[in-house]
Structure 1
Amino acid sequence: MTAVGIDAIEIWTGKLQLDLPNTFAPAKGEDPEKYTKGLGLETSSFPDTYEDIVTMGANAAKRLMDRRDLSPDDIGRIDVATESAFDNSKPVSTYIAGCLEQVYDGDFHHANKGERKFACVAGTQSIDDAYNWIRAGRNRGRAALVIATDTALYARGDPGEATQGAGAVAMLIDEDPSVVELSTEQGYGSADETDFLKPNQQFPSVDGKRSMQVYLARMREALEDFESVAWDTHPDDFEFIPFHTPFPGMVRKAGLLGYRHMIRGTDIEDDLEAEIGRQPRESEYDSWDAYEDAIRDYMDELKRTDRYRDWYGETIEPTLGLARRVGNWYTGSVHVARAASLKHAAEQGVDMTGRKLLVGSYGSGAQAEIHAETVRDGWADEVSALSIDDQLDRRYDLDFDEYETVHDAHNHDLDAEIEEFTQPDGEFVHTGWGRMNERKYDYVE
């Protein structure tokens, strides 16, 4: 069976940055370590006044198509995943296709276009859709373009304000992929939850504590479901485990939960028994509450062991390198984590070909998906072509007054005309509105 997976990746970050410890924390009168050590964040990316989910997505897609010398005829579907959409009917993919048709010969008139919504997991769901489309033989030899693009903004003063971010990840899904092959096995954990939502509003309503609990519960369910159709996972099975990363501090909890699950009944649990004992088993306790208390105590001990710390440093920490600098990208978050892990491996000279990733996607509301990916022999060339470090270094550093100004510029409830902070160069920009209040875009040389 021909392998199907991610053949190319490109990233486009918002062109502004907010320095959390040096700009945001002093303005809030808070300890910078609340952000650097607590949340695990250094800076957040923001869109300039001429940027939005369309421009970022189109710019990432153009960069990918240019680098791979693709034309519209090579693309059979365009799927956009976002939870920042501004139209309840017309999908963002049509806007992006319209942008790309400004710069390429030909058009996307025979490409299927759609928009996926399930909070942050929609990017992975769009990859699943493309995978199934190719496996069904409906692609006619063409590839799918999947774009995860979001402006993850919160109301000013909201507890989630420090975790904001903006950017897009474009991925080419095709047969015989260069980057990773997707596993046929998937695991899901899904339930009707009210942890994070936007009922006809731009900025989210969030129950932070509940959201963390739901995230972990759905991830556990998804891992158990994956193992039911794949294999009993072991920490040594995977070189990296990229998680959905609203902020790195959240991934610390997911990593610990996953590690405890994977070592249960293994040689690692045996090795750690003399140091911290064996994991509690439910049958050993008279009540569920007592069992949960024992599990929490065990996990507190587990996270202090050298065995766990070493595993986390090698398997999880490298996936967070970009998130620390860009913040939360909602649908793009887990795909940024994958790129960060492969980028780290390339920089360290690690040959990833044939090695496995375990990808943990999540969307509030709520659903988690777990699947495995096998790294292909073209991964290093693809990762070396990414320009994300240069993009991050060139971001305009906002002071706090400028941050509040640009936040107002992207608040749909305000009519704020703000001068741009950077000069567009070889990219798509938002230029205004048309006769039916549609957004208009142009390519600026």
Structure 2
Amino acid sequence: MTAVGIDAVEIRTGRLKLDLPNTFAPAKGEDPGKYTKGLGLNASSFPDSYEDIVTMGANAAHRLMERKGLGPEDIGRIDVATESAFDNSKPVSTYVAGCLEQVYDGNFHHANKGERKFACISGTQSLDDAYNWIKAGRHRGRAALVIATDTALYARDDPGEATQGAGAVAMLITEDPSVVELSTEQGYGSADETDFLKPQQQFPSVDGKRSMQVYLARMREALEDFESVAGDTHPDDYAYIPFHTPFPGMVRKAGLLGFRHMIRDTPVEDEFAEEIGRQPRPEGFDDDEAYEEAVRDYMDALKETEGYRDWYGNTIEPTLSISREVGNWYTGSVHLARASALRHALDNDVDLAGQRLLVGSYGSGAQAEIHAETVVEGWAEEVRAMNVDEQLGARHDLTFEEYESIHDAHNHDKDTDLDPLTSPDGEFAFTGWGRMGERQYEYVE
């Protein structure tokens, strides 16, 4: 059976940087540790006034195609996942294709284009669509271009403001891929939830406590569903476990929950039992409240053990390095986590070929998906080709006053004309409005 998966990845971060401990925290009169230790974030990325979800997605896709030597004739579908779209009819993928056609001789007239929406999980859903399209034999030997692109802004003074971010991840999906092969087996956890939503509004309405509960509940369901078709999971089975990362602090809870689940009824649980006892079982308690309290006590003890800390430090912590510097990218966040893990392996000379990842995607509203990925030969060359570190280092460091201005510039309810803080160079840029109110773009040499 032919392998299908991710053949190449490119990341495009917004050109602006907001330093959370040194710029945002002092302006808010808050302890920097609230951000660096509590949320696990050092900085956020923002788009300059000429950047948006189209330019970031098109620039990531362009670099990917140039690096791989591809033209429009090699791409059979373009899927864009976003929850930051500005048109309720015309998909962002058509804008991206229009940008790319400015720099190629051919066109994408025979490529299927679409836009996926299910909060942050739609990037993974778009991967699934591309996988199924190729597996069904409908691709005619062509590749799929999947782009997750978002500007994740919150209203000023909203509790989520510090987790903002902006950027795009472009992925090439092919047969015989060079990065990871996607598993056929998937697990889902889904329910009608109201934890995060944007009913006819740009900035989200969020129930933070509820959102955390829903995230963990759907992840647990998805893991159980995945195991029903793929067999039991074990913490030693996976080199890395990338999670959807709205902020690294949220992943700490997901990692602990997943580890507790995977070690239950295994020799690993027996080893931990010598130190902290066995996991509580419902049948050992008279009511749910007592059982749940015992579970919380067990998890508090588990997270302090050296064994768990070592596992977390090796398996999950490496997936968070990029997110710490850019904030939440919504649909791109879990794909940043994968890239962080692969980059960590490259930097530490880890031979990952043949090893597996367990990928946990999530979208509010709500749905989680768990699937496995097998790292393939060629991954190191592809990861080495990414220039995300260069982009992060080149960002313009915002003052708080500049941050306020750029936030207003991207607020749909405000008519703000802001001079750019950086200069576009060899990239697609937003240049103004067309006769029907459409956004227009040009490639700037």
* Residue aligning to 1:34: 34
Alignment pair present for 1:58 and 2:50: no
Compute the displacement of 1:267 (Å).
Answer: 1.1
CA deviation digits over 1:8-46, x for unaligned, max 9?
Answer: 000000000000000000000000000000000000000
* Residue aligning to 1:199: 199
Matches within 5 A, 1:257-296: 257-296=257-296
| Amino acid across the alignment from 2:162 | A
Indicate the SS of the match to 2:113: strand
Q: Distance in 2 between matches of 1:406 and 1:301?
A: 44
CA deviation digits over 1:169-217, x for unaligned, max 9?
Answer: 0000000000000000000000000000000000000000000000000
Q: Distance in 2 between matches of 1:38 and 1:157?
A: 18
Indicate the SS of the match to 1:322: helix
* Residue aligning to 1:297: 297
| Amino acid across the alignment from 1:150 | D
* Residue aligning to 2:190: 190
Indicate the SS of the match to 1:201: coil
| Amino acid across the alignment from 1:113 | K
Alignment pair present for 1:179 and 2:179: yes
Matches within 5 A, 1:111-126: 111-126=111-126
* Residue aligning to 1:355: 355
Indicate the SS of the match to 2:7: strand
* Residue aligning to 2:243: 243
- TM-score, normalised to structure 1, is 1.00
Indicate the SS of the match to 1:372: strand
* Residue aligning to 1:129: 129
Runs of 4+ more than 4 Å apart: none
| Amino acid across the alignment from 2:165 | G
Q: Distance in 2 between matches of 1:289 and 1:360?
A: 28
| Amino acid across the alignment from 1:143 | A
Compute the displacement of 1:288 (Å).
Answer: 1.2
Q: Distance in 1 between matches of 2:127 and 2:371?
A: 12
* Residue aligning to 1:5: 5
* Residue aligning to 1:409: 409
* Residue aligning to 1:232: 232
| Amino acid across the alignment from 1:349 | D
Indicate the SS of the match to 2:174: strand
Indicate the SS of the match to 2:8: strand
Q: Distance in 2 between matches of 1:72 and 1:294?
A: 58
Q: Distance in 2 between matches of 1:295 and 1:172?
A: 42
Q: Distance in 2 between matches of 1:398 and 1:268?
A: 48
Aligned length: 445
* Residue aligning to 1:434: 434
* Residue aligning to 1:43: 43
* Residue aligning to 2:90: 90
User: Mind listing any 5+ residue stretches in structure 2 that lack a counterpart?
Assistant: none
Indicate the SS of the match to 1:168: strand
Compute the displacement of 1:302 (Å).
Answer: 0.2
- TM-score, normalised to structure 2, is 1.00
Indicate the SS of the match to 1:415: coil
* Residue aligning to 2:80: 80
Q: Distance in 2 between matches of 1:137 and 1:286?
A: 55
RMSD: 0.3
Indicate the SS of the match to 1:44: strand
Q: Distance in 1 between matches of 2:104 and 2:378?
A: 26
* Residue aligning to 1:156: 156
Compute the displacement of 1:381 (Å).
Answer: 0.3
